[in-house]
Every structure is written in C-alpha cells, then in structure tokens.
Structure 1
Amino acid sequence: MTALGALIRSRIAQTGPITIADYMGECLMHPTHGYYATRDPLGAAGDFITAPEISQMFGELIGLALAQCWQDQGAPERIVLAELGPGRGTLMADALRATRGVPGFHESLSVHFVETSPVLREAQADAVPDATWHDRVDTLPPGPLFLIANEFFDALPIRQFIRDGDAWRERMVGLDGDALQIGLSAPAPLTLVEHRLADTEDGDLVELCPTLPGMISTLSGRIEAEGGAAIIIDYGDWQSLGDTWQALSGHKKTDPLAAPGEADLTAHVDFAEIARHVDPAKYSRLTTQGVFLERLGITPRAQALAKSLTGDALQTHIKAHRRLTHPAEMGELFKVLSIYPATAMPPPGLEP
C-alpha cells in the first residue's frame, strides 16, 4: 500500500466509502502524495504521451487555427491566449512559433496557463517563459479568450452511476478488510443523472464529472460576452455509456485501486455533457481529431517537413502523422469540439 493509499484507507475506515470522484481527486492532486503534484508524467520515461509531444505539427495547426479565429473576429487589440492543463508547455510553444508571422497577433496576446502541478509549472516556464499561471479558469484576466484544452477534461474526477429502475446506485470506493474495493450505494433517485433516464436501461452505467458544468458555463458565458473561442480536444464520445475509468502506469493499463498516487487516472469525456452546458454561446459539431487536423492541412505540412528529413528521423515523422490522424490510432478515438460566440463562426477545421 502506498503512503496515499494508507491515508485513503484510514479516511474510509473513519467516515465510510467515498465517491470515485473523491478518490480520483486525492490520487491526482493530494498536495504531498498526489500523482500530478510529485512528477512529470509525460513522455517515454513517464506514463503516457500526448499529441503535442508526438509532433510539432499538432500545436502549430491549433495555433494557426486560433490566429485565424482572432482575425475573423476583427483582430481585437488585447486578448487572452490560455491553455488548460498544458503539460510541458509544448503545444503552446509550437503554437506561438507557428503564429509568429501573423501580423499583430503576438502583439495582442498574453499567455496564461491553468495548472496546479508545481512540477509541470517548472517545465512550462522553460517552454513559455512569459506565461502567467492560474489555479482556476475563473481567475483568467478579462478580454477576448482564445483557449486550448487538450487532454484536460479526461483527468477531471468523475462519478459513476448504475441505473436501477428509475433510481441509481453509485459506485463507491470502500474497504474489504485492509484492501480498497468498489461497492455500490443503495438505489436512490438522483437529480444529477435524472436526464439520463430517457436514454438508458436497467444496469447501464453512466459517468458524470461534477466540476464540468460550472467550468463550461463559465467559459461559455465569458466567450459569448467578451469574444474568443475554446478548442477542446480529448478522447471520448458524444455521450457517456459504460465504464471508461482507467489507470495508466508505464504506458500500460493497471488497476485504479492498486497504487493510489502512483498511476494516472482518467475517464472518457462525455462531449454531450459539455454541449449541454454551453449557453449562451454556441458549440461546434463534434469532429474526430483526424478529420480536424486534415482540414487544417496536416498532410501538406507533414510533406513539407519531410523534405528535410532522412532515415530514422523521416520514419519517426511519418509514424507521428499516422498516429495523430489514422482512424486506428488517435484519429477517431480523440474528438474535437469548440465553443464560440453566437454571432461568430467556429474556428477553422470545425463546423457549426
């Protein structure tokens, strides 16, 4: 049992079973033993790799899409360019490099990161020295907001509910002797998941993120009132159905209860739940990552970069293009949704 596991076990012994969201929150963000508080999880030496670390093309194209969106909205003089959960800062660094030639864009922007991990903040400061950091979305400064959220929402704690007639039973983390185990609450009507009675059957499992509604409502209201756009990229689908909660350690799946604080915990993103809370702004049609990147011109960009490469470097580049776009890899598993003002069009690569 890890040190954090012992603390969680003691808490449950004293106060009873906890929600999966509470468990995830402790595992990921405990100030002393939490996964993100104690390590850089990215890359070959870490537990997972994200699209910006696979190829510079990913960040370049997203940066150019937001710069075009800025121009389409009249090129406002002062904007906030922000990223939620920016990893090592690689995506933002690539976006800034690619947009250096867009007249007036860099002069208009200030870069802001929403990040709570002290370890990752250090890496981000190396990649983007002029950034400003925030713990929460609602402390971002005023002004048109152009925001990126790549693999951010999948790491937010989720709750799991199993339908039982017209009621729901929640999956909880409890104890079996000294070991952590999953159990079920008593069935009860729950307002939180009442809207899912229309599209589920007995025994179906749905996942909900408790912090998502408030965050999306904040972003939506802000973008509608002040302008800008948010591009959200994550793995998941239009609507949650089934158990997608997982733990990753050393690039392999493992038991989420096995080593609290030592593995990354994530769940698929329910994009319908995001869309449900986009008001009064608009949201774009859900699009696969592969289609989105192809519309932005990733293949011509890949071909241009390939001209200066040979040998292993060329093969790595070709594999990176495939990994980002091919349906059998990240191309269909990852989806893209944008939030934009009701009077505007969505960012390039996306449809109303």
Structure 2
Amino acid sequence: MDFSSPKKGFPKKRCGVLGCTGSVGQRFSLLLAEHPHFELVAVGASERSSGKTYKEATTWKTSGSMPENIGELTVTLCDPQHFKHCDVVFSGLDSSVAGEVEDRFLKENIPVFSNAKNHRQDPSVPLVVPTVNISHLDYIKVQRESNGLDKGFLVCNSNCAVIGIVIPLAAIQASCGAIDGLSVVTNQAVSGAGFPGPSMMEMMDNWIPYISGEEDKMQPESRKILGQYDVEGKALVDRTDLKVSATCNRVAVTDGHGACVSVRFADRSKVPSAEQVKQAMKDYVSEVQKMECPSAPEKAIAVMEEADRPQPKLDRDAGRGYTITVGRVREDPSGFCDIIFTALSHNTVIGASGSSILNAEAAVLKGYL
C-alpha cells in the first residue's frame, strides 16, 4: 500500500492480529506491515500453529509475498496473556471461535477491533463503517463504563457486502433525503468465503446463487450502521423503518464485491433525479477524511460515467481499496423504485481488514487508543 509520509503527531501503536493465518488475518497483517504508525508485534492462531514462526505457520494467499518484517514473528495462542503488550488487537478469527475469544480480551481490558459477525448485533457493541458512522465510536465511553474498563473496548466492522452498499446510501441520504427501502443483488468474490473457499470445479464456468447466512445480515446491519444515538447519547437506535430485500451470489472473481442496488425514498414528493444522486455521491466527504486518518481515501466514493463500469479487474483497488466505485446511476423507468445504481467494493480492504484499521486510526485521533 502506497501511504503518504507519516502524519505529524500521529502516535505509534503496537498491534496484534488474532486468526493471523486465515485470509482476513493475512490481510490485517499485510496492511499493518505497511502502515506508517501501526506496528505488528504479536500474531495469534490455533494450537496447530502456535510456536511456529508466522512464515512457517502460514500458507500465504494474499496478493504479494509476506512482508519480511513480520515473517519471523512467533505465533501464539489467541490468549490475552500473549497480547498484554499490544495497544490494540485486530480479530480476523472465524465466527466459530471469535465470540468467546473476543469476550476474554474485553474482560482483560484490551482494545479489540473485530471483523467477525458474533457481536455485530450486540446493542453494547458499536458496528462501524469508517466512512459512514465513525461517530458511533463515541459509544466506547458507555461500553467502558458498563464493563468497568479504562482502556479496553470491542468495536465491530460490518459484513463485507453490507459495507459496499451503506457508503453510497449514507452519501445519498445526507443530501437527498431518507431512503426507506432498497433491493440489493450482490455478486461476491470468492475471497469473501475465506481459504480454501469454493473449489475451482464449483466456480469455473459457474456462479452460485446462495451464500449461507449472507442475506440475513443485510437488513439488520444496515439498520444499525445507519442508525443514531438516542436523545441522551446512552444507546444506539437502529433505523427500523429501513427495509432491505437482498439476494447474494458467489461469482468467479478473486476480489471485489459488486452490488446492483435499487432504492426508494421515504418522501415521495421529493424524489431526486439521477444527476442529483450522482452529485451527492461525488460531494460526499466522511468524517475520517476530514480527520485526515492515514488510511482514509481521497474519495470515499468514485462515480463512474462509463456505461460498463465499475468492474472488479479495473476498479477494486480504487483509493488503495478504500474507495467505493459506483456506476450506472439512473432513474428507474418502471417507477417501482426511484434510483438504480451499481456499486463495487474491495471486500478484503474496505470490506474487512482495512475497515477495522481505519476505525482504529480514528479511535487514536479521538483519544480512545
């Protein structure tokens, strides 16, 4: 990742990664190895990998070779005692074990940013997409108070497919008014399934119109991310009026989740034009960009005018993988919905590990780390 020069005054932080040998853990490790302020000092995995060097324990599947500065780290068990020297820990654990492990880290007063699904719908845990609702990090104060902590906390990032749609939705709503319904059809990359994922025989000359549990996440996670604090700032209130109809497909693409989105506005008397929606996305500037977080992209959303864009091969790395690309913005001629567009996100950067790292950068600047 090509970072600009280190941000003046941004403190160095020692980081750990849980589930370091998996696909999400590898992406965490790669991004941290190249980070100007975050130093990877501890990696954890299962008992099978414990005691080996990271290089010995890992079948590296992330683009590019394993950075030399992390290959000699010794893999430990995912136990808080091995991560006490870390300022922050990133969890790339599988959901089968993540819930229990992350609870133990929270109880041991260690800050954790999680990519796992286990705590996303816990009302005491912020669910944060960095270019949408970074203000929800302020709920850390409430979480700490209720758990008797002075520095630990648990923050989740969202499902990779959800992240790709809520960013353009946030931009549209900020300028054009509330959306109360949307239909989404996703085309999701095989890397989203983790390693080893679907076999070549399954995916070659094929696509699979089902991803277990994926459609069930779309509505509740979108509602939580696009929600607000209550009047006293003591609880997060979901957007319960937002209806999301979703169909999720696995396609033969390495990285890059696509979504065909049709939206309906709540105020039927003030439906914006396609040009107004395009402009809303072009003008959108998130708080992490204003804060000048090191990983924040120049553009949260890039609007494309070409008739056949965005495409994974051409556009998934926009903004180093932190920018959502949107194209085919048009009015729905049928009148069934109002606006239709296609969105593309890099599912392992802004859709997973990069989202957590950008959340952590914001937490540093907000004084929580």
Q: Point out which structure has higher relative CO (alpha carbons under 8 A, 6+ apart).
A: 1
Q: Indicate the structure (1 or 2) with the bigger Cα radius of gyration.
A: 1
**With structure 1 as the length reference, what TM-score do the two structures score?**
0.34
**With structure 2 as the length reference, what TM-score do the two structures score?**
0.33
Which structure shows the higher helix fraction?
Answer: 1
